[in-house]
Amino acid sequence: MQPNDLYYEERNPSPLQQAWLDFYAKPLARASLYTLCFLLFIALFGSWLAPFGANEQFSELLSLPPAWSNHGDLRFLLGTDSLGRDMLSRILHGARFTFGLPLLMVCMAALLGISAGVMVAMNVGVASSAVKHLLGVLFSIPSLLLALIIIAVIGPGLPNAALAIGLVFVPQFLLTTRNAIVEELGKDYVIASQLNGVSSRYLFVAVILPNIVKPLVTQFTLAFSAAILDIAALGFLGLGAQAPVPEWGAMLALSVEFAYNTPWVMALPGLALFITLISVNVMGETLRSTLQARMEH
Amino acid sequence: MIRIILRQFTVLALTLFVLTVLAFSLAFWFPGNAITNASGVLVTDIHYQAVATARAFDKNIISQYLAYMAHFFAFDWGVSLQDGASVWQEFKLRFPATLELSLLAMALALLLGPPLGILAAMHHNKPIDQIITFFSLSGYSIPVFWMAQLSILIFAVALGWVPIAGQVNPLFDIPLVSGSILVDIWLAEQPYRGIALLNALQHMILPVIVLATVPLVLLIRLTRNACVDVLRLNFVKGAYARGLSTPEVLFKHVIPNTMQEVTLHISTAFSLLITNTLIIEMIFSWPGLGRWLVRSIYERDYPVIQGVLLLLASLILLVNVATTIFHAWRFPRVRRELNAT
């Protein structure tokens, strides 16, 4: 913008700019955005950044407290666990399983679910109503329980848990997309463009899609936070990641027996999980309110 | 109203039908022999042929399903592959324990959630609101198993206020009658009933509070958002303009309208609570359905998995339908919308 504008003009920032301005204005939201970028970085490159391997044991240094305590060692910044493995390295390695894997799974579920939802919604008919009833059943059962059903069939293990969590969120995306599109289809502006004779592809991409971004983004952030929690919960219950894998939930499960003597082994993975979840939730909330403000504008 | 109840029951019947079909087909999806998976009777057992005939495995799939349903309603849910105990007998003892824990937690959440949410909304964007919002956001984000571990470490191990895990001190020797520990102590003819009850309540405090957190913060958030929206509406301004005092406006106009929004989501809170019982029961060694289910998945105890999954899912669906019906009965305004769809 030139500073010497003659007339007052209402400036409408683009959605991305608007989102950035909103994130910029709220310190908590900005912090969560930075945290998530950092987590993404760690999930991608954590295994190279880590000073030691995830399962590298130092048998002479078992249960070493973090470096800031009197008995700590600076080589092991966050201490070691009861088997002499470096906590910092394990947490860095674990980000890939607890943050990266759910992100990947939810992205895939979103891709599948949204495209199926679009197909169902754009071809309204008998099939659509049947699909709605069937998904209504699946939708009211919480995702962890559904994932447990799938794991009961295909057996425990990290790949199976990831698959189960991916599958669980597909119908949710499908249902959200379908309902959002069906709601928009009845509105005047859609009917107007239909009267203009646009093709159904154009109708969806250029007319409806910009107006259903909010429910889709909301669903994505909710599903992402639920997926992280679910994969950690499955790891904790011993049905997801198995013992030596440095998944944060599985690390918490291992720490149960040693929590009293070595509290940091329990506190650190839990804290990492807590910070991750709170960042995802704050970011979701901010994005939602940004999009809401834009809709009302 | 009758139409809505009928419609809801039709949906319930339909979804329960889908669920039973799902549970029935689980026996075929699990690895191994379908008859063993459904009944817990091994191929080497002498009763194997009789069980296969009783479950109509020599006929087509529809009569197999009908036989499964007949067995289900006769409470013949097969035996556990692990210890040969009847699944129904075990279930009868474990279900009340889970129900006791989850009902207490749900009651706590319902008792505290809406008032705190309304309090936050009344002081929208003031310090009280910010504190409540902050706590609800962190409560929403804290993984429930970590919170349970932390609370055990702080309140049970370090401070020693409450016991670490279990239902009641085993020295009280409470006979297992109904499964629900409070009821059992009530039924037990013992001189130490009062002390045992106190002991059981002490054991219960921590799991109930941890279990209540997730539905509690969900209700706080929902109530706060709904109440903020209601407070913006014109009839609130109108009520103040007519000279009503703040408590009158609050109790006669704001709260009923807020609760309309919140009531519908009670079933969501409940289903979240049920998933969390799985984890809480594991950590606090509570002999309920959740721990049984998780253990049976480790041990691949298929008859148990089949039964427990079906029952937990139907419980959630029942609460869902009950909430919808209550919502329509209590708030006539939503009936029209329900009828329209």
The whole-angstrom separation of Cα A158 and Cα A178 is 31
Confidence category of residue B111, pLDDT binned at 50, 70, 90: very high
CA distance B292 to chain A (A): 12
The whole-angstrom separation of Cα A45 and Cα A40 is 9
CA atoms within 13 A on the CB side of A144: 28
The whole-angstrom separation of Cα A32 and Cα A283 is 6
> pTM here?
0.86
Q: Does residue B173 sit in helix, strand or coil?
A: coil
Q: Name residue B10's amino acid.
A: T
* B159-208 pLDDT per residue, tens: 888 888 777 777 777 777 777 777 777 777 777 777 888 888 888 888 99
* A203-240 pLDDT per residue, tens: 888 888 888 888 898 889 989 999 999 999 998 888 88
* A156-187 pLDDT per residue, tens: 888 889 999 998 898 888 888 888 888 888 88
For B313, the token pair is: 């899912």
Check CB contact of A281 with chain B, cutoff 8 Å. yes
- Predicted confidence at residue A4, as pLDDT, reads 62
Residues 6+ apart with CB under 8 A from A179: A215
Q: Does residue A86 sit in helix, strand or coil?
A: strand
The whole-angstrom separation of Cα A226 and Cα A229 is 5
How many degrees, rounded to 5, is the angle at CA B81 between CA B207 and CA B273? 25
Indicate the helix (H) or strand (E) that contains B89: helix B87-122
Do the chains contact at A266 and B138, CB–CB below 8 Å? no
Check CB contact of A278 with chain B, cutoff 8 Å. yes
Question: Look-up: residue for tokens 């009850």?
Answer: B197
The whole-angstrom separation of Cα B262 and Cα B126 is 23
* B246-281 pLDDT per residue, tens: 888 888 888 888 888 888 888 888 888 988 888 888
Residue from B22, B146, B164 whose CB has the most chain A CBs within 10 Å, to mutate:
B146
The whole-angstrom separation of Cα A207 and Cα A122 is 13
Do the chains contact at B149 and A270, CB–CB below 8 Å? yes
Check CB contact of A272 with chain B, cutoff 8 Å. no
Indicate the helix (H) or strand (E) that contains B125: none
* B1-50 pLDDT per residue, tens: 787 788 778 878 888 888 888 888 888 888 877 777 777 777 777 777 77
CA B258 to chain CA centroid, nearest Å: 24
Which residue of chain A comes nearest to B300, CA vs CA? A152
Residues of chain A with pLDDT under 70: 1-5, 9, 11, 124-138, 296-297
Q: State ipTM.
A: 0.83
- Predicted confidence at residue B341, as pLDDT, reads 45
The whole-angstrom separation of Cα B11 and Cα B177 is 36
Q: What residues of A are in contact with residue B143 (Cβ under 8 Å)?
A: 229, 232-233, 249, 252, 270, 273-274, 277
Check CB contact of B143 with chain A, cutoff 8 Å. yes
Check CB contact of B160 with chain A, cutoff 8 Å. no
For B276, the token pair is: 């969390």
For A174, the token pair is: 């499908």
The whole-angstrom separation of Cα B118 and Cα B225 is 9
Question: Look-up: residue for tokens 């390295």?
Answer: A89
CA distance A58 to chain B (A): 27
Q: Which of B14, B42, B37, B119 is nearest to B304 (CA)?
A: B37
CB-based contact A165:A227 (threshold 8 Å):
yes
CB-based contact A232:A247 (threshold 8 Å):
yes
Cβ-based neighbour number of residue A211 at 10 Å: 16
Residue from A36, A132, A153, A168 whose CB has the most chain B CBs within 10 Å, to mutate:
A153
The whole-angstrom separation of Cα B233 and Cα A247 is 48
